[in-house]
């Protein structure tokens, strides 16, 4: 926050609300990353399918489908598959050793952020489902649950949401509007009418693993492509 204050730059923090309900909540990507790293996995079983490592990624043995693509298309059954995966490949010792990697903000931390005049708190859904790839019923539940939990903690309205992986569709946009989200942040516009849809905003990405000059170039290309 000191840098925000120094340059007087407003910022929005997008929150996964499941971490506010359960202090031991881990995102699915963290669960997979830690298990693969800690166990030096070359293959694993997930949802009764075998995924094999090839060039730093994992692919389903029979169909050759990329694991990340597979899990992003899952609905409710993802939670059961993750629970089984954790029991097979993770234990408390491994999890505790990686606390700094996966721990999310707690309620106290979030209240402190929300009280700062330069910081807005937005939603990143409840459990980070790809909203455009799941049923509209589950998507609606993700949107509502996250908004209610965060608002209860910070005692302020939550009007902004960043779609996980920038994934959405027209039904999701309409549900967001009904629920009370006013600023819908994508990664890239996915549909031809998005440029004229005042509800949705393009997100410009900044890398933490490259140079300042590279980020300036990246932003310039993105702004030239879609505008501000």
Tens digit of each residue's pLDDT (9 = 90 or more) over 126-146: 999 999 999 999 999 999 999
Q: Note the pLDDT tens digit of each residue in 89-108.
A: 999 999 999 988 899 999 99
Q: Is residue 206 a contact partner of residue 219, using CB atoms and an 8 Å limit?
A: yes
Helical packing angle, 77-89 and 28-39, nearest 10°: 20
What three-state secondary structure class fits 125?
coil
For 2-23+105-226, which CATH class?
A: alpha beta
Percent residues over pLDDT 90 in the chain? 79
The number of C-alpha atoms within 13 Å of 91 and in the hemisphere containing its C-beta is: 2
Q: Note the pLDDT tens digit of each residue in 7-28.
A: 898 999 999 999 999 999 999 9
Both tokens assigned to 152: 């209860």
Helical packing angle, 170-179 and 136-154, nearest 10°: 30
Percent residues over pLDDT 70 in the chain? 98
- Rg of the chain over Cα atoms, rounded to whole angstroms, equals 19
Long-range interactions of 99-102: CB distance < 8 A, separation 24+: 101/30, 101/33, 101/34, 102/26, 102/27, 102/30, 102/34
Helix (H) or strand (E) holding 213: helix 212-226
Would the pTM of this model clear 0.85, i.e. be above it? yes
Domains in the chain: boundaries: 2-23+105-226, 28-100
């Amino acid at each position: 926050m000191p840098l925000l204050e120094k340059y007087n730059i407003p910022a929005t923090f997008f929150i996964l609300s499941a971490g506010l309900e359960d202090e031991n909540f881990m995102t699915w990507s963290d669960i997979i990353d830690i298990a693969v790293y800690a166990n030096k996995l070359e293959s694993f079983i997930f949802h009764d399918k075998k995924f094999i490592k090839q060039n730093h990624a994992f692919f389903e043995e029979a169909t050759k489908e990329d694991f990340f693509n597979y899990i992003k298309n899952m609905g409710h059954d993802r939670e059961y598959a993750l629970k089984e995966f954790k029991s097979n490949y993770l234990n408390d010792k491994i999890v505790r050793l990686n606390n700094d990697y996966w721990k999310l903000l707690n309620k106290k931390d979030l209240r402190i952020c929300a009280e700062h005049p330069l910081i807005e708190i937005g939603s990143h859904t409840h459990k980070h489902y790809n909203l455009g790839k799941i049923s509209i019923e589950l998507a609606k539940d993700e949107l509502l649950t996250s908004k209610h939990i965060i608002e209860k903690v910070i005692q302020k309205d939550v009007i902004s949401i960043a779609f996980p992986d920038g994934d959405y569709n027209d039904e999701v946009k309409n549900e967001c509007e009904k629920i009370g989200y006013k600023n819908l942040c994508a990664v890239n516009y996915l549909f031809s009418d998005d440029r004229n849809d005042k509800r949705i905003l393009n997100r410009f990405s900044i890398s933490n693993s490259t140079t300042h000059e590279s980020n300036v170039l990246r932003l310039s290309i993105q702004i030239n492509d879609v505008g501000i």
